Structure 1
Amino acid sequence: MLKRIHSFWYDLWCDLGCLYENTGAQGFIDMGIPQQATVGEALDKPRRRRHRRAIYRDIEAHLTLFSNVRELSETDIPRWKGKNDIYRDTFLSKDTWMHIRQAKPRVDWYRGVWFPQTTPKYSFLTWLAFKNRLATGDRIKTWNRNANASCVFCNDPMETRNHLFFECAFAKKVWGTLAKGLLLNRFVVDWDAVTELLISHHGLLLPLFWFGTLSKPLSIPSGGSETRGNMERRLSRRIAWQN
C-alpha cells in the first residue's frame, strides 16, 4: 500500500523493488528526484517525463499510476533488508552486518583461534599472530626507523613473528619445556609446522599456544627480567589452571 512518507529510492513502494538498486546514484540526477525524497514529494514534483532508459520510463509509469490512487494517510512502517534481500518488519543486527561487511574466503585456521569457551584475550592475540600483526621488531622498525628491533630474549638483531615462534633460542627452550613431553614425535619449532598442528589438533595445543603467544609480555615484569625457569613454572601453572 502506497504511503506518502515512504522513501522514494529505498522503500518498496512499487513492484520495481528498491529503485536505488536499479538506477544507482545516477538516478537522482536523471530523474530529478533527490536522494532523500519521499514518494509523496516525488508525486508532487514537476519534472521532465521523457527518458531514454527503460527503467526510468517504468518509474514514470508507476508514478502516473499512483498519482490518482493515493492512500497517503496511513502510518508508515519501516522495513529492514534481511537475508536473501528479503525486507522484514524486524531489525536484526546480524543481517545488517552481513550486508555491510566485505565477505572474504574462510581461512583454514579459524577453528584454532575462535571456538566456544576460549579466552577472548588469547584468541585475539593468536589472531594477530596469524595475521602477522604483532608488534614485533620488524614491524616496529617500519613505524620508527630508530627503534630497537632486536629480540628481547636473545638479542637477535631482527625480531619477527617466526623468530618469536620459535626460532629464538629462549622461546624455543620455553616451548620445548611446555610442549615436548606432550607432543612427543609431533613436537616442532617452525611457525608453519606449529600452526599446522594447531589446525589439526587444536584441542590439545591451544592452551600451550595461547601462553606461547603471551610469552613476550609475560617475560618482562616491571623492574627487571625473568629467568627461563621461573617463566616455565609460571606458564605451566597457568596452563594447568586453564585446563
Structure 2
Amino acid sequence: MHYIGNGSSTSLWFDNWYLDGPLLSKWSSRVVYDSGLPLNATFNAIVLVDSWNWAAAMSINLVEIKSRMTSYNPNSNIEDSIRWLPSPNGIYLASSVLASLRASHPLVPWFKLVWFPQNIPIMSFILWMAVRGRLPTRDRIHKYDPEVVTTCVLCNSHLESHAHLFFVCLFSRAIWTQLLNYYGTH
C-alpha cells in the first residue's frame, strides 16, 4: 500500500505525486476545468481524512485519473516529504544528477585501447576523435567553409579525409611503415 502525505503544500496539478507524474504533464488544462478545482489547488483539495474526495467525474480524463489512483491511500496524518526521484533512495546527490543526465551506452570494443590508466589525455582524446571520424580533416572543414582547399596536405594529390590520411596516403603510409619497422612490429 502506498501512502501519500497530507498534501498541504503539494500542488494538485503541477507536483509529482501521481503515478505518471504531474497531472498537467499528461493531460491538458481541460482536466482542471472539468474537475471544478482551481489551478492553484493543493493535493488536500481531493482528500477527506483518509479517503479520496473528488467531485463527480465530468470527463473521460478524470475517470481515468481516478481509476489509476486506487493503489494510493491518502493519509492526512502523514507529513509531506520531498524525494529526489532519480535517486533510488530519494536523497539528492550530485552523482544521481549526473547519472540521470548521462545516457548509458555499452562500451565499444576499442575502449581500452584509447582510455587506459597510463594514457596521455590529449593523445587519448585525439585517438578517440580519429576512431570516431571526427578529426578536422579538410573534407569535413570544407562542409562549413567551401573556400577551403580539400587536397591532402601531405601528398597534395587526393582529397584529405580520415580514410586517405590513415590508410591511402603514400606519405603517411611511409611514416607508419618506418615506425612499425623501428618498433619491430612489421
| TM-score using structure 2 length | 0.67
CA distance in structure 2 between the partners assigned to 1:77 and 1:141 by the alignment:
52
CA distance in structure 2 between the partners assigned to 1:179 and 1:129 by the alignment:
19
Aligned twin of 1:27:
27
Instruction: Write the deviation string for residues 90-109 of structure 1: whole angstroms up to 9, x where unpaired.
Output: 4142x333333444443221
Other structure's SS at 1:154 match = coil
CA distance in structure 2 between the partners assigned to 1:104 and 1:55 by the alignment:
36
Aligned twin of 2:91:
89
Q: CA deviation at 1:148?
A: 1.0
CA distance in structure 2 between the partners assigned to 1:80 and 1:133 by the alignment:
36
| TM-score using structure 1 length | 0.54
CA distance in structure 1 between the partners assigned to 2:28 and 2:15 by the alignment:
12
CA-based RMSD of the aligned residues comes to: 3.7
Aligned twin of 2:76:
70
CA distance in structure 2 between the partners assigned to 1:126 and 1:78 by the alignment:
42
Q: CA deviation at 1:136?
A: 0.6
More helix, by proportion = 1
Aligned twin of 1:52:
60
When residues 10 and 123 of structure 1 are mapped into structure 2, their CA distance, relative to the original with a 3 A threshold, is: farther
Q: How does 1:1-243 map to 2 (within 5 A)?
A: 2=5, 3-6=7-10, 8=12, 11=16, 13=17, 18-20=19-21, 25-27=25-27, 29=29, 31-32=31-32, 41-44=42-45, 49-50=56-57, 51-52=59-60, 55-58=64-67, 66=74, 69-71=75-77, 74=79, 76-82=81-87, 86-93=88-95, 95-184=96-185, 187=186
Aligned twin of 2:49:
none
How many residues align? The count is: 168
CA distance in structure 2 between the partners assigned to 1:110 and 1:24 by the alignment:
43
Other structure's SS at 1:153 match = coil
CA distance in structure 1 between the partners assigned to 2:81 and 2:25 by the alignment:
24
Q: Which runs of 5+ in 2 are unaligned?
A: 34-38, 47-52
Q: CA deviation at 1:47?
A: 8.1
Q: CA deviation at 1:170?
A: 2.3
- Relative contact order, CA 8 A, sep 6+: which one is greater? 2
Q: CA deviation at 1:161?
A: 0.7
